[in-house]
Amino acid sequence: MSDTPKTDFIREIIAADLASGKHATTITRFPPEPNGYLHIGHAKAICLNFGIARENAASGARCHLRFDDTNPAKEETEYVESIKSDVKWLGFDWGENLFFASDYFEFFYECAVALINKGLAYVDRQTAEQIKETRGNLTVPGKESPYRDTPPEENLDLFTRMRAGEFKEGEAVLRAKIDMASPNMNLRDPVIYRIMHAHHHNTGDAWCIYPMYDYAHPLEDAVEKITHSLCTLEFEIHRPLYDWVIEHCPVPAKPRQIEFARLNLTYTVMSKRKLLQLVKEGLVEGWDDPRMPTLSGLRRRGYPAAAIRHFCQRIGITKYNGTTDVALLEFDVRDHLNTVVPRRMAVLDPLKLVIENWPAGESEEVEIDNHPKDPAMGTRTLKLSREVWIERDDFQEEPEKKYFRLGPGRYVRLRGGYIVHCTGFNKDAEGRITEVHCEYLPGTKGADAPEGVKCKAAIHWVSVEHGVDAEVRLYDRLFTEADPDDAEGGFVTVINPDSLTKVRAYVEPELAGVEPEFSCQFERLGYFVADQKDHRPGVHLVFNRTVALRDSWK
């Protein structure tokens, strides 16, 4: 499974720019705002930007990790740290190229002064409501502000006083002077600076005016000499403003913005605002809850970084918005794990099976392969004894049609060991089966069933004497609806009540010693991972279901 990308329209543009000599090298950037954890949608942007840099390494290409931290109100250092660790986990490295947009505040300010001096920006003292009301709409042009023609010297004085903290929030803004009648609303004298008396995680209280995204972003790209600024389609309509800022400000480079379709997934909400709501309202157990589409959640769920990269490569880069079936991601995870992780046995819904003709207190070693198709993974030795746990649904009192497992008088093989013959069972007062009885057939270990014995299935088991207790967390999709964003009562009303089920299970002894994040297949059940946070080897075992063996949502 490779994650070398096919080409796409962006990679074609980049190759052409190198070939024509327009650029000697390629510089991309991934510019998260540190106001939440990264999600699988960001993985698409990371794989694209860092991927392009890696593919063009020969010409000195690089990708910057830039924190777009221009809004003091929503940002926290916890997010900065989580973003760095997630990008690394996904397999990418920014090297020396770690930047913070807030380091450019002085440059943004100088550019604003340059715009004012050219008569291209003015301080507007109207209220926020007045500015909103005079913007017009798609059919009605906007109305020019009475402050629009203030001379540059006066604007400069006002802007200096804005910076000095002489105004309260909302008393003044700086606007670009472009075109109040433009059919593109973004060009109707957009606000480029506002006053916020807020503490910033990087610059502290040095500033009380903060630049708007549409103004700051092109300048950040230009300072870093980004050649191709890749963003999602909703910014297409902002591109004329991006280009206007680049054209009129004293910038050291002229980056080009190119848009691509964002990733949307079925049964998933992707916006950080909504993910934050899930966390804040306690609907999940944190940003890294294994049901979250965050990279830290997916990691805790047991999704391998390589499977996520492969998924991003497979969906490709296009200009068309759509929604990708989450089953495709799950398929890649299963497909990847299938080849790389070993098999183990665990019983999640235990029912005791007593082998009546097996001497009490004795056990026998059986050797089991760790992977059915990969002999290099070797074998392990397990102890079989008189009492074993089997799955409750591997026994039926009155077997239905096509049920080939255990039932009265039936035969089944204990995986890697003997064929057993069911001789009876016990029930409690409520009619629930408490114990199943059987006899093993000597000579059937590693050998075919004898003449006249019909044995069509092998079931997994864990020795009662040797197995160990574990908590197993069965995760499922977080929402019951394919498009939770469209739910009538909002996405929180379609949370899947069965998205997490905790069970007490028995697992084979070797699993007692595995470290957090150890991944394996529990035979016949699915892929599981030792929980990154709560699993403590030898003390308290916790396994998360990464994905079931088959898609049960079809």
Write the binding mask 236 to 275 for ligand ATP: x where contact by CB under 6 A, - elsewhere. Answer: --------------------------xx------xxx---
Residue 262: active-site member? yes
| 365 contact partners, CB below 8 Å, separation of at least 6 | 381, 382, 383, 384
Establish how many alpha carbons lie within 13 A of residue 402's alpha carbon, considering only the half-sphere containing its beta carbon. 0
The residue whose Cβ lies closest to ligand ATP is 41
Q: CB of 379 within 8 A of CB of 416?
A: no
Residue 272: active-site member? yes
Q: CB of 500 within 8 A of CB of 474?
A: yes
CA–CA gap between residue 342 and residue 313 (Å, rounded):
26
Query: Smaller CB distance to ligand ATP: residue 18 or 270?
Result: 270
What is the dihedral sign for C-alpha 23, 24, 27, 28?
A: positive
CA–CA gap between residue 391 and residue 394 (Å, rounded):
5
Q: Is 419 left (phi over 0), alpha (psi -120 to 50) or beta?
A: beta
- Which of 125, 225, 262, 392 is the catalytic position? 262
Least gap, CB of 8 to ligand ATP (angstroms)? 13
Least gap, CB of 232 to ligand ATP (angstroms)? 4
Q: Is 321 in the site for ligand ATP (CB under 6 A)?
A: no
Per CB under 6 A, the list member of 44, 301, 310, 344 interacting with ligand ATP is 44
Site stretch for ligand ATP (CB under 6 A), options 36-44, 199-207, 414-422, 511-519: 36-44
Least gap, CB of 93 to ligand ATP (angstroms)? 18
132 exposed, middle or buried (CB, 10 Å; 0-12, 13-18, 19+)?
exposed
Copy the structure tokens of residue 73. Answer: 């109100």
Query: Smaller CB distance to ligand ATP: residue 271 or 434?
Result: 271
Query: Smaller CB distance to ligand ATP: residue 277 or 423?
Result: 277
Site stretch for ligand ATP (CB under 6 A), options 17-25, 28-36, 241-249, 525-533: 28-36
Q: Measuring CA to CA, which residue among 31, 37, 112, 23 is closest to residue 64?
A: 31
Query: Smaller CB distance to ligand ATP: residue 261 or 464?
Result: 261
User: Which 184-243 residues touch ligand ATP, going by CB under 6 A?
Assistant: 231-232
Residue found under tokens 């691509």: 260
Q: Is 417 in the site for ligand ATP (CB under 6 A)?
A: no
Q: Measuring CA to CA, which residue among 92, 102, 3 is closest to residue 42?
A: 92
- Which of 177, 188, 272, 477 is the catalytic position? 272
The alpha-carbon radius of gyration of the chain (Å, integer) is 31
Query: Smaller CB distance to ligand ATP: residue 84 or 262?
Result: 262
Query: Smaller CB distance to ligand ATP: residue 182 or 232?
Result: 232
Residue found under tokens 């892929």: 527
Establish how many alpha carbons lie within 13 A of residue 240's alpha carbon, considering only the half-sphere containing its beta carbon. 13
CA–CA gap between residue 159 and residue 137 (Å, rounded):
28
Residue 132: active-site member? no
Least gap, CB of 271 to ligand ATP (angstroms)? 4
| 429 contact partners, CB below 8 Å, separation of at least 6 | none
Least gap, CB of 352 to ligand ATP (angstroms)? 49
Report the length, in residues, of the chain. Answer: 554
Site stretch for ligand ATP (CB under 6 A), options 30-38, 319-327, 531-539, 543-551: 30-38
Query: Smaller CB distance to ligand ATP: residue 232 or 496?
Result: 232
Copy the structure tokens of residue 153. Answer: 């010297």
User: If binding means CB under 6 A, how many residues of this protein chain bind ligand ATP?
Assistant: 14
Site of interaction with ligand ATP (CB under 6 A): 31-33, 41-42, 44-45, 231-232, 262-263, 270-272
Residues marked active site are found at: 33, 262, 272
